[in-house]
Structure formats: structure tokens, C-alpha cells
Structure 1
Amino acid sequence: MLKRREYLLDHYNRMHMPEDIEMTSRAEQKTKGPVARSFNGASESGSEEFHEKAEANSPEAKEGRDPPRAKWQTADTFRQYWETRKTFFTDEQHEEAWNETAKILKTYSDEVIDRWNKEIDTLLVYAGLFSAILTAFNVQSYQLLTPPPQTDPVLVALERISAQLSGFSVNPPFVNSTQPTFIYRDPDPPSPPLWAIWLNTLWFSSLIFSLSAASVGIMVKQWLHEYSSGLSGTSRQVARLRQLRLKSLERWYVKEIVSILPVLLQIGSALFFAGLLVLLWHLNHTVAIVGTVLVGVLAVFSLSTIILPSLAIHCAYISPPSRALFEYTRPLRNLLYLFRRKLSSWILGHYAFSLPLFSFEAERFQREHPRMYNTWKLLHLDDSFTASKWRWMEFSLLSRPDTARELDGDMVATAYTTALDTRYLHHAAICTTDLTANATRSCFEAIRHANIAHWGEDGHLVPMWSVHPCMWSAAIISLLTVSDDEAAGSQSSSTLAAALETAYDYLRPYSHHVPSDAPRTRLVCADIASIMRLSDRRGSSRSQMISEALYRDCRLTVMMERASELNLGNDIRQYVASACVRTIRQGLDGDVIDHSGTQRSLDVLRCIIPCVPLPGSPDCKPNDREYQSVRAEAVHALDAFTAFLLTPRALEWLEKAHMVFDTLRERGERACLVSPELVRAMASYQELLQDLVRHDNRAWIQDLKLKLELCNDEQVREAM
């Protein structure tokens, strides 16, 4: 391979001596104008002449002034650009998006309040019946703690007198008594038995738990009644008020308090059964044994429903105690999952299989080793565990701009996280243009955490790829508005980095909305181009990292290719092209050898070609100044590529050159961007590499070369 490369370089140097290049360039200059225009109308001289005529006829040129530029085109920082993003959508589109957000928020709020009210009503009925039963038992049990009634002292004295009289003996002259002298003392009350103390402790504690649940439930119903008052309609102001109260419910743990109420009643029931068993064991062992068995069955069933959700997958026995146990046992469950995963992987490896196990492999494994397959199936886990003054105070909070913007972001996050409907994010993308960068960051963090909790660490990316990428470009820009100093001084710098990585992973140009939704596609193209442009100027280390990834993964290139037939507007096309052309010319400069810069330039070159509208497309407006600027930028970029093909280092980039050839063949030729000079450079490049050039590109270049030769022959005949 090394000898092959040295041979090619030596052959290249013999073919392209300086004298030959100079003679070739002089010969091309003689026929460049007419031949180029007749070939594809994309030569630099022809393009410049065409542009000069169109510019002279434009209203701005006649008045002697440049056309006005949009604010998003002149932004120098990410913060300035963020403030201009709302101009990409009309007022009607903004209003529609916020109305959809308010409707979803109202539906969620009404369902939550209604569910809590019904749950508390049921608990109050149970608490009332249970307390009445407990009271009947406690009326009898508390008497066991009181001492037995004392004997009347008069009766005691009479008994002693009677005994003394019967014990007299008369021996004249003496009368003697055989009974001792009577002295009355108050007897000490006997202490209650231990079982009676335990019985009353359990039953009175049970009564307290039951009445506590009823008392707290009544208070919660009062809170919910106050929450619902004054929330009629779906206007944006009412939506903010609803979101403010939802946040208050969350901040003051109302959901957790509602969840505790059934737990209090369950504890009360358990204490009652325990006291009942104490009483039965004291009275009769046979009855106590039967009662213990029945209570034990209930206890086993109750504990099983609490423990099973932490062990089984998709168990329906979800309750506040089981949810709490699930969270507390998460580390242990993760360790168990890893152990089972490794053991199942070892079993597969022993039988020449590996994870992931495809369906046809699983069928073969089951057919050849049925017993081990069943064992592996048990071990392997498919899912990862995975009043009026008050009213005025609320409205005064809503009147604060910072609070209103924060609530807007919370509304968007709540509207999505309540149902996890990815279709809503289509509206949320417009809503983010009205939010501040801080509110958008918080909103994206809520969306990110909800996705991970729902789909898991490994499965939350794919569902987001169907969302229009302008939603995620907004998240990236909002995260990039945080400077390096601010990120370093924050305790959540790692969280910021993780959020930025997730937002970039979400940003994929494969959504079916990209080729059909012009306003949102305009926005995402401008967002990505702004990230590239602003990062190259004065971006932070994080913005430069994102910019490098965008160059490397060709996200903007695929976006422009998919939107080439869309009415993007020449302002967007010119903005993207101007962001690309500087990178292309720097990386393809023959005097500078920078492998990373060359690779980036060849990738970006594939992006600038689809920027030029195809003939017949809505953006193909030859008299439009921005259309002319897009063509000029593309011509300059392809001139740099032409010169690059005539340099020795072009031999090292055959695969990248193939990708550029593919784009030129599919779109560049139709857009009249393939100049005669570029055809000659590609033909020379092909002759040098011979069979290394792919067949489809080789045939296309040969066809272009033949057309150019026929065009030259016709030009010569016309001159004669």
C-alpha cells in the first residue's frame, strides 16, 4: 500500500509540473467565459456578471443602500441570538402553541385534583367506620386498666364487730375476746395485668392513627378546594396561575401527604389486629389460633403486595409503601441486575452465543438446549430497573417578569412530563422561543429526567429522534449561553455537561417533520449555523466541542439535503452558506496542511451545495440578492475544492472526495454548480487514481468530460 501511494505521488508530480499548470490555466482562461456559460452557467465570471446585473436592478442598489439584515443574522453572542429566535414564527403560531400547552396543563390539573378528592372521600368513609368499631372495643378494654372497686369500709367494720362479738368468752369477773383489735387501712389498688396494658396500647394507638388520617384528609380537601377556586379558562395568565399552584403543591409535598393517608389507616388496622390477638390468646387458645392464622394470611398478603413490585417486573401492586421500598432497594436491585446479566451472558458464551441475542439465535438456542434456555430466560432481564388577599398575592407574583418566564418554562415541562406525548414537543418547540435561556434549560432538564425515568438510560434517545430537531437545537443554545466561568463556579457543572450531551444526542435530522415543516426547519438550520459561527468566533470550550461534533457528524449537511426542496428562504440559505464557506477555504488551502481542518472542510462542502436552490424550487429566485449571494458562496467553495483536487494531499482523502462527488452528482449538477475547471480537476483526479474511484462517480465524471469536449468543439467551430 505504501509503494502504491509513493507511485501515485510520483506520477502526480510528473503529470502536474508548474509549467503544465501554467499552460493549462492560460489555455483555460482563453475559453473560460463562453464555454463555461454554455456548459452549466456556473463559472465564476458568468456568475459574477449575472450577479452584477441582478444587483443593479434591485431596489436597494437603486437607492444606494444595502438590504436590511435580520437581527438573528447579526447576533454576536449566543445570548443575543437567543433573544431573536422568536421572530421565526408568527404570532398565530405562538398563540396556538401556548393554547395547546394551557389545555394539556388544565387537563392534567383537573385529573390530579379529582383523583385526590375521590381517594380522600373513600378514606374518610373507611376511617369513620373503622373508628366507630374501635371505639366500641376501647370502651370495654380501658376498664381493664382501672382497679376493681373497693369494699365499703362500714361493711368491713360490721364484719369485724360481728366476729369480735362471737369471739367473746365470759369468765366472771372477766370478759375476754379472742379477735384482735380492728384497725381499718385503705388497701393498695392492684396493678393491671401486662396483657391488658398491651391491649389498650395497641387499640388506642390504632384509634389515634385512624382519627389522624381522617383529620389530615379533611385538611387536604380544604387545600384542594382553595386550589381550584379562580381557575376557569385556558388563557395564558390563568395557565400561569395554575402552574404556580401546581408548583406550590409540589413544593409543600401535598402529593406525599395524600399518599400517607392510606398508610396511616393500614397501620391502624395492623395495630387493631395485633391487639385483638393479644385479647384472644388471653381468653381462649383455640379461638386465638384460628384468629392468628387468619390475621397471618392477611399479613402475608399485604407484605407480599409491598415487596413484589421491587422484585418483579411490571408488577401491578403499586402503592405508597411499595413505591418507597422500591426506591430504598434500588442500589441492591442494580447489583442483582448486574449479577444476573453477567450470569446470563456467561451461559450464552458457554454455548457460543452472545448478547444481544437475536430472535433466530434464541430459537436455535431453545431448540438445541431447551433446559438451559429456560434457565437463561429466568436469569436474563429484558428491561432495566428501570381568600382575597391571597389572590392578590398570587397575581402580584405573576406580574413579576422573572416569575412569569419561569412559570412558562414549567408549563411546557409539565405539559410534556404528565403524558410523555412526543407529539406535544412539536408545539413546545415554538413555546421555547418565548422562554428565557434559563427557563429553557430547566424545561429541558425536566424533559430529560422524565425520559430517562420512563424509557431508561439506554432507550430514551430513539423516541426523541422523531421530534423536530429545532426543539433540541434550542436546548443546546440555551445550555451554551452559560459561560465557562459560570459553569466552573456552579455546583452542577457535571449536570450541565450531561444535559448538553443528551441534547446533542437528541438532535438528529431524521424526523419526518424536517422536509415538510418550513418554519421549524428554518429555525434549526439557523440554530446550527449560529452554533458553528459563534463558536468559531469567541465560543466557550463547550460550544467548540459541540461545533466540532456538528462538523464531524454532518448534522447540518443532512438537514440541508433533506430540506433542499423546501421553501426555507434564501436568507437562511445565505446564512448557512456564509457560515460554511470560511471553514471550507481555510481547510482546503493548499499552503496549509491540517488534517482535521481538511476533513472538516470536505464535510462542510457537502453542506453548502444543497444551500443553492434547484431550478424550479420555491427559493430559486435569480433576481434575489440573497439567492445570488448563496450561489457566489457555493462557487467560491467549489473553486477551493477544484484547487484542492490538484494538490498531492488530495490523494489522502479519497473517501471524503467520493462523498463530495456524490453530492455534486445528485444536486450540484442540477443546481448548475459544476464548472469546466471542476470537471477538469475531477477528471485529472480520476486518471491519477484510476480504478480507486468508484464506478458510479467514474462514469459520471467521464460523462461530464465528454460533454465539456463536445462543448469546446462547438465553440471552436463557431469561432471559425
Structure 2
Amino acid sequence: MHTTTFQGEFVAFRELEETLVTRLENVIKELKTTPNDIDPATNFWTVYNQVADEHDGDMLGKYSGDLDTSLLFAGLFSAISTAFIVQIIPSLQPNPSDLTNALLLRILQQNKSFGGSDPLAPVMNVSPTVLRAQSILFASLSVNLFAAFIAVLGKQWILYYKRASTWGSVVDRGKERQVKFTGLQKWGLHFIMELLPVLLQLALLLFGIGIIAYLWDIDRSAAEVIMVSVYTGFAFYAGIAVAATIWNDCPFQTPLSVFLLKAFPWAKKTTGCLFVGLSTMTWGNRSDVYPLMIDNLEPLCHLPCNRCMLML
């Protein structure tokens, strides 16, 4: 009795095992498709979209973060600069006390002469320094608002670029993305993104100069303190920009250094060879060190270096 039950269970188990094996083999056959079964174009664009999505995610994330930072800085800076401009605007209007004094003087003249007189013109005695400071501050605010406007447009450009991966087939999405990425490089979107910090820094510099111009006649000591701070900051920024332009290993990279490198590509090459020559002349003849050093540094200079000249 028990033997018959055991044999029945064994047969049922074998049938279940065969069924599972058959299903597994069918699944493996479906997965193991031959290369002829896959469209080469579809396979290529599938891999392309995967790599492109990873690349675009990093790139657009960086752009989006930079734009958010620029918008935040532009908003705070606009509030501060507007407050200063509002304080200076009354200086551009006629002084009520001066107008009252002019009216009293005209009445006195009329009483003495009992004759007609021309209508009294508004009295306005604005210092040229105030006008100059107001112009610089307005220029600073205008540059800052222009940078904020570009940042808002940049957010819209990013959203438009992302639409390439949301519609159509795999091939269509890949082709559309490639067209947009090529256009992104052709039309210099990266240059515009790098230009935003430069505009904000320019607005900050103009703001500092405007404050110095406004305080120059009011409080010379305060103006000199601010002038030292502004000029020190500008000298530091210019120094690290030039250093980053000359040396590749300089960690203080700025958008200005990128622009300088594009405008003066010969600076890095010429400076590299110059430092090789100066170092060689300073350390003296070291035949065991300098041939190896020159062999390693000469390709970096991209200029023909004379070994005999450097070894003098």
C-alpha cells in the first residue's frame, strides 16, 4: 500500500520536473536569440540611448545646479543693489530747501524792482560724483538682471533638451538626441553657461566701484576702505585666473581662466618652456636628472626645446 503511494508520488514529481524543464528550455531559447533575430540599428540605438542618458544626466544635472546657484545669487544681489539705488535716487532730485531759498530770493528781487521776471526754473544742483555713482550702480543692476534672464532661459533650454528621450521609438529618440546634442555643441551652450558666473562677477565688481564713487565725496575714509577691499578681491581673482590659465594642475579654475585659455592658447605653451629653461639654469648641470626631465617636459611644451640650450 505504501509502495504504491510512493510510486504515484514519484511519477507525479517526475512529470512536474519534466514540465518545469520544458518551460525553462523554452525561456532559454527565447532569451538566446541569434544576432540575425535582432535589428542591428535597434541594438545600436538601444545601447546609444543608455550611454547618452547617463552622460546627459550628469551634464544636465551640472547645468541645472549652476543655473539654480546663479538665480539665487542674482536674486540676493538685486535686492541689495536696489536698496542702495533707492537710497541714492533722492540725491538726483531738487533739494526742497534750495527751491524754497530760490523762491524767497526771487520774491525779494521782485519787491525791490517791482518789475516782471521770468518764471522760476527748478533748482537742481546734483554732484557729478553722485551721477557717476548712480550710473555705475544702474549698470551693475542691469548686468545682474541680464544674467538672471539668461539663467531662466537656460532652465527652459534644459527642459527642451530632455524632451528628446520621451517620445518615439528607440531609433527616433536616439537620432533626435544626437541632433540636439550636436546643436548644443555647435551653438555654444556650454559657453553661455560659463558666461553666467562672469556676468555676475562683473555686476559685483561694478557695484563695488559704484559704492566707492558715491562715498568718495561724502566719506573719503570709508571709500578708501571699500576700495582696498574691492581691489584686493579683484587682484586675487585675476591672479588665480592667470594661474589656472598657465598651469593645468592649478585647482583654482574659473570661467575667466577658460576664456583666457581660449583667447591666448600660446600662453600655456610659452610659459611651460620658460619654466623648464629657468629651472634648468637654476639647478645647474645634472646630467643624471635633466635628460629625463627634459624628455618628459618637452612634449608638454608643444614647442621645440633645444637640449643644448637648456643644459647650459
Please give the TM-score of this superposition, normalised by the length of structure 1.
0.33
1:208 aligns with 2:142: yes
1:550-699 equivalences in 2 (<5 Å) = none
Runs of at least 5 residues in structure 2 that lack an aligned partner in the other structure: 1-34, 303-312
| Residue 50 of structure 2: aligned partner | 103
In structure 2, which of residues 263, 272, 276 is the aligned counterpart of residue 337 of structure 1? Answer: 272
Equivalent residue in structure 2 for 1:195, among 107, 129, 141 = 129
The yes-or-no answer on 1:384 pairing with 2:300 is yes
- 1-side partners of 2:198 and 2:87: how far apart? 27
State the match for 2:117 in structure 1: 184
Aligned to 2:89: 142
Q: How far apart, in 2, do the equivalents of 1:288 and 1:307 lie?
A: 28
Deviations 1:274-329 (A, max 9, x none): 01111222222222232222223322222222111023331122222110112223
Unaligned residue ranges in structure 1 (runs of 5+):
1-88, 165-178, 359-375, 387-720
Q: CA deviation at 1:271?
A: 0.3
Moved more, 306-315 or 122-131: 306-315
For the residue of structure 1 that corresponds to 2:136, the secondary structure is: helix
Change in Cα spacing, 1:195 to 1:308, as seen in structure 2 (3 Å) is same
**In 2: Cα distance, 1:146 partner to 1:158 partner:** 23
Give, in whole Å, the separation in 1 of the partners of 2:225 and 2:237: 19
Displacement of 1:127: 0.8
8 A contact 2:164–2:176 mirrored in 1: no
Shift of 1:343: 5.4
SS at match of 1:357: helix
What CA deviation, in whole Å up to 9, does each residue of 1:520-559 have, x standing for no partner?
A: xxxxxxxxxxxxxxxxxxxxxxxxxxxxxxxxxxxxxxxx
* Pair 1:227–1:160, CA change in 2 (3 A): same
Q: Which residue identity is paired with 1:184?
A: S
Match of 1:151 in 2: 100
What letter matches 2:130 in structure 1?
A: A
For 1:137 and 1:347, locate their aligned partners in 2 and report how far apart those are by CA, in whole Å. Answer: 54
Map residues 275-354 of structure 1 onto 2, 5 A cutoff.
275-342=210-277, 350-353=285-288
Identity %: 24
| Residues 345 and 354 in structure 1, CA contact (< 8 A), matched pair in contact too | no
Question: Residue 45 of structure 2 contacts residue 174 of structure 2 at CA under 8 Å; is this kept in 1?
Answer: no
- The answer to whether the 8 A contact 1:120-1:221 is kept is yes
Tell me the distance in 2 between the aligned counterparts of 1:155 and 1:283: 29
CA deviations 1:501-533 (Å, max 9, x no partner) are: xxxxxxxxxxxxxxxxxxxxxxxxxxxxxxxxx
In structure 2, the partner of 1:133 is 80
Task: Name the SS for the 1:123 alignment partner.
Answer: helix
**Greater helix fraction, Structure 1 or Structure 2:** 2
In the alignment, does 2:65 pair up with 1:118?
yes
CA 1:314–1:383 in structure 2 vs 1: closer, same or farther (change >3 Å)? farther
CA RMSD of aligned residues (A): 3.3
Matched, 1:265 2:181: no
Q: For the Cα contact (< 8 Å) 1:348–1:354, is it kept in 2?
A: no
- Where does residue 172 of structure 1 map in the other structure? none
- Deviation of the 1:188 alpha carbon: 6.8
Q: Which structure has the larger Rg? A: 1
Q: Secondary structure at the match of 1:316?
A: coil
**Residue type of the alignment partner of 2:117:** Y
* C-alpha distance in structure 2 between counterparts of 1:242 and 1:218, whole Å: 22
- Tell me the residue number matched to 1:539: none
Matched, 1:226 2:175: no
Structure 1 pair 138/255, CA: closer, same or farther in 2 (3 Å)?
Answer: same
Contact 2:209 2:227 in 1 (8 A): no
